[in-house]
Structure 1
Amino acid sequence: MGKRGRVTLRDVAARAGVSATTASFVLSGRRDMRISAGTEERVFQAARTLDYRRHLVPRTTVPAGAPTVGLICDVIATESFAGELLRGCIAAATDRGHLVLMADTEGVGNLEASAVQALLSRGVDRFIYATMATSVRSVPEPLRDRRLVLANCVDPTLAVPAVVPDDGRGGRTAAKALADAGHTTGIWLVGEVPAHAVAGRRRRAGVEEGLRAAGLRLAGRVPCAWWPQAARAALTDLFRAGWWDTARPTAVITMNDRTAMGVYQAVAAAGLTVPDDLSVISFDNSDIARWLDPELSSINLPYFDLGRRAVELLLAGDAEPRVRELPMRLRSRASVAAPARTTGPAGRRPRPAMRAEQPLTDLG
């Protein structure tokens, strides 16, 4: 078999049935052109199918000795989809004739301080301080008097610009999607919300607010860690305790896609199906959302936009020191459907016996 040539942007556009300009706008994260969520999804799917390698930086010549932006982060470089934040930083910086130097510190205080000093010794005087999880952080001392923008975190003691995902609006979007699909009762939230989980608290508050706006409320919460095994175990226990017959759930909102995967497994083990018996909607829009069967409706985390907007604010020089919340858009797929119509317990599809001997496996 001959060697396949490099996949081009035009190849992606042709497979998605859009123009090369539209494909470019979608893959570069631009939002100054009206593109529907469905079109964006087709472009992303075409890029994944063709294994299209997006350029990490735009086709912009950066001169020797160009000014540099320093990026201090915790585990961004080791998380695949969070690498989009780095790509957003680089794209915005190179568009403006800057380079990016990054230090990945695993959130260790001593490493953070030494990383900052190393970048300062190289003449870096502008910094992005970024975290993998949305959080409240204390910015290391060497950064506090520097030109600085925070990405995916805030420091209440520091008056600097910050960009974070709008998890509250994301929660409202998830609630509205279920209400629009006809769900009025039996909506459950799956995933624990510890005190330090900023994103989780805001998502839960948004979900509850969105349901109230539709005249609805949560039927209940299932506290479990945000991993497939924990969610599967929690839902399995509920099924065995008669949850399906007594609570009559119609939909669940999970705190992330890994949690949704565990829900899928528990539902399948109970002899039920998504979305015919139980609709599922989630947060992250990770690769898991597209690997699940049926594909999972999920609220997108805007990592690329976080990186790009942080650099834009940093290089603007006069950005107002406030928190900017970036939209989280719903990627609608096949995991949400109208609830089965019932007139009472007798009209509900009966729950088959649990298949206790059926093995369950986790991704990876």
Structure 2
Amino acid sequence: MHVLTNHAIGSEDGQADMTPGKRTRVTLRDVAEWAGVSTTTASFVLSGRRDMRISAETEERVFQAARTLDYRRRLVPRTPLPPGAPAIGVISDVVAGGHFAGEMLRGCVAAAADHGHVVLMADSEDMDALESSAVRALLGQGVHKFVYATMATVVHTVPQVLRGQRLVTVNNVDPTLGVPAIIPDDTRAGEDAARALAEAGHTTGIWLVGQVLPRAVAAGRRLTGVKAGLRAAGLRLAGHVRCGWWPDETRRALSGLFSAGWWERDRPTAVIAMNDRAAMGVYQAAAEAGHHVPGDLSVISFDNSDLARWLHPALSSMDLPYFDLGRRAVELLLTERAEPRVHKLPMELRARASVAHR
């Protein structure tokens, strides 16, 4: 069991190598100056707030500045928490690894700190026995409020040991349990991705790339949303390439299509990839066939991982709001009589250079 507290996530404004050989603290003002915005704007962007009109271009500059300077948001109060501060247990399958998992945990820590709580986290590595023993260990420390999270959106039965505890689930829904659940709104994201292509003038040749497996709840909802969004614009999918979501699998599948005359026969104009890794495979297959993104083929995706910013041209992608998922989960957990329903958080489009206007 891995256990982290608020203080394990970092309590300084930031540390970065601003110049070779010199270690300098990075502040929010540094990020704002680098991005050419006010500190208020930088704060709104990095805290995930949506109650202020900020353009996608400005948000991108702020995120790029934060990454370039290696800025770390302060997640704990400047005033130390008192000894014996109440704790929240965060239980997940693979939360300790990966960017998205870290962002979800950071969201939990930020909200907990705002309410004078600490976070204790247990990573089960998707093993039921370890998961149950981790929960019992936290119960033994007097923890009775829990966030139960999975990294993939699934319909999943919560462990018996958590039943009867104060609980909010993240990225999963247990239909047998009446507790609040927080998930991304993948259906709406699919609609928005399709709408973005339609508004860019794509009326034919729109393909979906990535298989939909029965347990892949997010994929099924994205497909439903894409079809609905196209239908609303009077359009339809030209085809669906059912391949894995990894670059090599996607590249092989599309390379086979290109070799079989896909370009000449079907005239694809745009691809909606199920995630950024699949989109990378699309880029690779198109380049191998002598085609360019976005001049020949537009690409839009889901996740808004770091990969979306690193690809050239930068990839338009629907943002998975893991920080907000974690933060909202803790806020609901600490709200008296929170409504036991599924709460869907929007996935906003981060528009970049991969979609051409026709």
TM-score (norm. length: structure 2): 0.93
Tell me, which stretches of 5 or more residues in structure 1 are unaligned?
340-364
Number of equivalenced pairs? 339
The residue aligned with 2:24 is 5
Question: Does 1:292 find its partner at 2:311?
Answer: yes
Q: Percent identity?
A: 71
Residue 4 of structure 1 and its aligned partner are, at CA, apart by 4.4
Question: Does 1:179 find its partner at 2:195?
Answer: no
Question: Does 1:96 find its partner at 2:115?
Answer: yes
Question: Does 1:217 find its partner at 2:226?
Answer: no
Question: Does 1:305 find its partner at 2:324?
Answer: yes
Secondary structure of the 1:135 match is: strand
Pair 285,50 (structure 1): closer, same or farther in 2 beyond 3 Å: same
The residue aligned with 1:273 is 292
Secondary structure of the 2:137 match is: helix
The residue aligned with 1:244 is 263
In structure 2, how many angstroms separate the alpha carbons of the residues matched to 1:95 and 1:35? 24
Pair 271,55 (structure 1): closer, same or farther in 2 beyond 3 Å: same
Residues 268-277 or 53-62, more deviating: 53-62
Residue 60 of structure 1 and its aligned partner are, at CA, apart by 4.9
Question: Does 1:195 find its partner at 2:208?
Answer: no
In structure 2, how many angstroms separate the alpha carbons of the residues matched to 1:60 and 1:229? 49
The residue aligned with 1:324 is 343
Secondary structure of the 1:63 match is: coil
Q: CA RMSD for the aligned pairs?
A: 1.1
Secondary structure of the 2:104 match is: helix
In structure 2, how many angstroms separate the alpha carbons of the residues matched to 1:283 and 1:2? 38
In structure 1, how many angstroms separate the alpha carbons of the residues matched to 2:116 and 2:220? 39
Q: Is the 8 A contact 2:195 2:233 kept in 1?
A: yes
Residue 38 of structure 1 and its aligned partner are, at CA, apart by 2.4
1:237-278 per-position Cα deviation (integer Å, ceiling 9, x unaligned): 000000000100000000000000000000000011000000
Q: Is the 8 A contact 1:57 1:87 kept in 2?
A: no
1:257-314 per-position Cα deviation (integer Å, ceiling 9, x unaligned): 0000000000000011000000000000001101111000000000000000000000
Secondary structure of the 2:83 match is: coil
Q: Is the 8 A contact 1:302 1:326 kept in 2?
A: yes
1:88-140 per-position Cα deviation (integer Å, ceiling 9, x unaligned): 00000010000000000012111111111000000001000000011111100
Residue 54 of structure 1 and its aligned partner are, at CA, apart by 2.5
Q: Please point out which of 144, 149, 152 is paired with 1:133.
A: 152
In structure 1, how many angstroms separate the alpha carbons of the residues matched to 2:123 and 2:23? 35
**AA in 1 matched with 2:263:** W
The residue aligned with 2:12 is none
**AA in 2 matched with 1:296:** L
**AA in 2 matched with 1:128:** V
The residue aligned with 2:173 is 154
Tell me, which stretches of 5 or more residues in structure 2 are unaligned?
1-19
